[in-house]
Amino acid sequence: MALAASEFGGHKFTTSSSAIQPPELFNPLLSPPSSSPISLPMDPSVHPTRYSAAPEEYQAGFDEVLVKQSILQQYFDSPTTLEATEALAELFNDISGQLDRPCTRLPGAEFYRPYGSLPFDFPMPTMVYGSPADHGQETMGAFVHVTRASRTPLVVEDDTVVDLGETLRQSANMNLGEFPAVPKPIHAISNELPESSSPVILRDDPTFTIEEVMPAYHLQWMMGSSVRQYATGVSADGDRFKLYYTDHRGISMSYAFSLLQHPELLVLVVAAISTAHPCRLGFCPFLDAAVTSNWSSLDGFSMTFPEAIDEDDTIEYNWRLQIDKAKRSIFNTWEVVGRGTNVVPVRILSEKGSVENSNSAFVVKFAFPEDARRAEDDEIRRIQRCLRESDPRATRHVVRLVASFTATTTQIGLPAEFLGYFSGDPTRSLRVILMEAYLPISDLHDNTPEFKKVMVDVVKAHHFVYVYAEVIHRDISDHNLMYRRGIYGVEGVLTDFDLCRHSSEVRRDLKMAIECSPDRLSFRGQLVGTRQYMACELHGPDMVPSQTYRHDLESLFYLGTSFCISADPNHPFNVPQWDDEDSVKVGLSKSRLILASDDVVRDEFFANTPPHKQRLIDEWVMPLRRLFESSARNFKEDLASAYRTPVYHSAKNVTYENFMEAIQEDEEFSDDEGSVDSDSDEDYDSLGDIDDVEFCSLKDV
């Protein structure tokens, strides 16, 4: 094979006796932060436990790798993708078999062609690196996407020996320079879109070429189907190979390189994948190194947090947990770009491995929020402290935090520190929260009385959080309203405060809007939350109101209404017309629900409602929809603003007291003594007619 000097991504490569770009530059499986020494896969400090105890023996067995002419020629001669995939898998496994692989690598893993299908219509990769015996979708180490329309007219004359040891020894001390990656942000998925339990497929995204779409699918599947911080893969099209990487910033890819001109690069890629510790394949960095031999699922794996802050702000060390999927599955939001939340069911282990608090269930929430956002764990601690001091009854109905910590991308060894950041990308950190586990409200699809009890508990808890902690939730959804079964029966619990905002901040912004904007349009806000449950007036095409307490009340109304509309027990909150990507269409549907006559609403929205939900329509939906007429009318005025001056409607009647009166429920928790001073909820009355002016232009957002 030719090994003449050539240019690749701005870096010059020659024969194996000269400096060769290290594997991290093309497959960032082992990439350290740029401020640290490069940790290559044979470095004993990275993997101290190996098949070969002596580092010299390990290095000696790693020096020369033979790329066999017969297998490579078979790959080039293969006329179909299937045959090319099988030949390339044989080539990769042959190279991998010549390496002195550490025992801490992915157990039983090899390159193979998978069978079957993936959920949600995801395409199956043509080749994966993982355990063919287990074929676990959660534990796919890397993908290889092979494309072949016809045989490649190339002739390989002889075997090629790659002096990998010399390559790595020289590359460990070279100046890497700038990483030659082409940023490919995914505009179709962002942290402003609603989180969902199923993936958002990237169809016809203009930022991808045709050859890049399938690798993007595979990266999204890997990020959404497991507990990962990043994912990697390879594409192969004849002689051309390209490397892919993604984390929650976006997707990066290398320039294509020629296998014939640079066989050492392909060997480095195979070495990086097949010798990597699972955490260097992108899996959760807190998985214990002593991994089990069963890699079909993450169930049973243990995790260790070196230190974390408990609910009383005390630092505790060596938290040992075990993933437990016996009763709960891992929840993923299927976001590639954005927060990328994972919720993992766990048990808390003691130092001896026995389960502590065996009667309680716990989950760990992993997320990558923007550093500029308030830390959710700090907010939960503050909210619980305020409730304990003001009205302890409400503490049972707000998520209980057990422990938490925040880690920077440098601390967890995210390859982004080495690859470089996308232009304009906000900095993110990994936030980890250990909390009590609750049951999803969707489980109550066939029990209307219990659903009502949970909803009332959450409405009250939401109000108490607003009154005593001065926090507006801003992301009401069926995923964030949960319940437990306690001594008082079912108890609703409000969770997920990662998008919350202090009411003092909203008041300050609204004051600025009044003082600075005689045209009512100068205030700049940001729209967050879950589209299906957003207040109607938030769906305007050009105007975004500042989200206040009353918008959360309206979101609670839409959640209860969704429960009544859906007749699907498997998706008890499914309302297709409110899941449209066109936000204006969603607003039009909601405005019709609110403003149309009773008969029209029943015919158009509740024609298929199951009998056991009919009473809830009469007692809740019909009375409450009148409470939110101002929101629907303001949405209509927003649409009309393109051709006339809008006339906005006051929403002063949208209060907690009126909400509870409409559904004929008490304003206080009835199971304890004491009362709540509802007069403390001013709903910004001190600012005057604030609801008449809290609009801003989307052009400025």
DSSP reduced 3-state for 96: helix
CA 585 to centroid of chain Cα atoms: 26
- Give the pLDDT of residue 642: 64
Q: Which range among 15-24, 217-226, 494-503 shows the weakest confidence by mean pLDDT?
A: 15-24
The mean pLDDT of 574-598, rounded to a whole number, is: 93
Q: pTM for the full model?
A: 0.79
User: Residue 632: pLDDT above 50?
Assistant: yes
Q: How far apart are CA 183 and CA 187, in angstroms?
A: 12
Assign 646 a pLDDT band (cuts: 50, 70, 90).
low
pLDDT in the model for residue 62? 54
pLDDT digit string (tens) for 371-397? Answer: 988 999 999 999 999 999 999 999 999
CA nearest neighbour of 88 among 246, 346, 269: 269
* C-alpha span between 467 and 450 (Å, rounded): 26
The more confident residue out of 38 and 433 is 433
Report the run of H or E that residue 143 belongs to, with start and end: strand 142-147
Rounded distance, CA 255 to CA 240, Å? Answer: 10
Every domain of the chain and the residues it spans? 6-281, 438-669+683-701
Determine contact, residues 586/567, Cβ cutoff 8 Å.
no
H or E segment to which residue 604 belongs: helix 598-605
Six token digits for residue 225 = 């189907």
Stretch (H or E) spanning 163: strand 160-163
> C-alpha angle with apex 70: 67 to 74, nearest 5 degrees?
110
pLDDT in the model for residue 647: 67
pLDDT of residue 602: 95
Average pLDDT of the residues in 646-672: 84
- Looking at domain 438-669+683-701, its CATH class is mainly alpha
Nearest CA-CA partner of 8 in 244, 271, 241: 241
| pLDDT value of position 173 | 45
User: Are 634 and 650 contacting, i.e. CB atoms less than 8 angstroms apart?
Assistant: no
pLDDT given at position 207? 65
Least confident of 10-14, 292-296, 449-453: 10-14
650 against 422, higher pLDDT: 650
18-32, 337-351, 629-643: the lowest-pLDDT one? 18-32
pLDDT tens digits, 336-354: 778 889 999 999 986 533 4
- Rounded average pLDDT over 426-444: 93
The confidence band for 497, taking pLDDT boundaries of 50, 70 and 90, is very high
CA angle 563, 564, 569 (to 5 degrees): 60
> Which of these ranges, 306-315, 434-443, 670-679, has the smallest mean pLDDT?
670-679
pLDDT, tens digit (0-9, with 9 covering 90-100), for 58-104: 333 457 889 999 999 999 999 999 999 999 999 999 999 998 777 77
Across 138-147, 163-172, 491-500, least confident range? 163-172
Q: Does residue 279 or residue 47 have the better pLDDT?
A: 279
Distance CA 77, CA 68 (A): 14
Q: 110, 145, 150, 143: which is closest to 128 by C-alpha?
A: 143
507-561 pLDDT per residue, tens: 887 776 654 333 333 344 567 888 999 999 999 877 667 889 999 999 999 999 9
Average pLDDT over all residues of the chain: 77
At residue 350, the pLDDT reads: 63
Tell me the pLDDT tens digit for each residue of 247-278. 988 888 888 999 988 898 899 999 999 988 88
- The pLDDT, as a whole number, for residue 422 is 60
Going by pLDDT thresholds of 50, 70 and 90, the confidence category of residue 694 is very low
| Average pLDDT score over residue span 662-687 | 55
> Distances in Å between the alpha carbon of 297 and those of 226, 334, 466?
9, 18, 41
**Adjacent-strand bridge partners of 237:** 147, 240
Specify the pLDDT at position 210: 79
Residue 290 confidence class, pLDDT cut points 50, 70, 90: low
Number of residues that make up the chain: 701
359 confidence band (pLDDT: 50, 70, 90): low
Q: What is the pLDDT of residues 125-163, one digit of tens each?
A: 899 998 886 666 788 899 999 998 788 788 888 898 888
Q: DSSP string covering 392-447, please?
A: GGGGGGBPPEEEEEEE-TTTTT-THHHH-PPTTPPPB-EEEEEEE--EEGGGGTT-
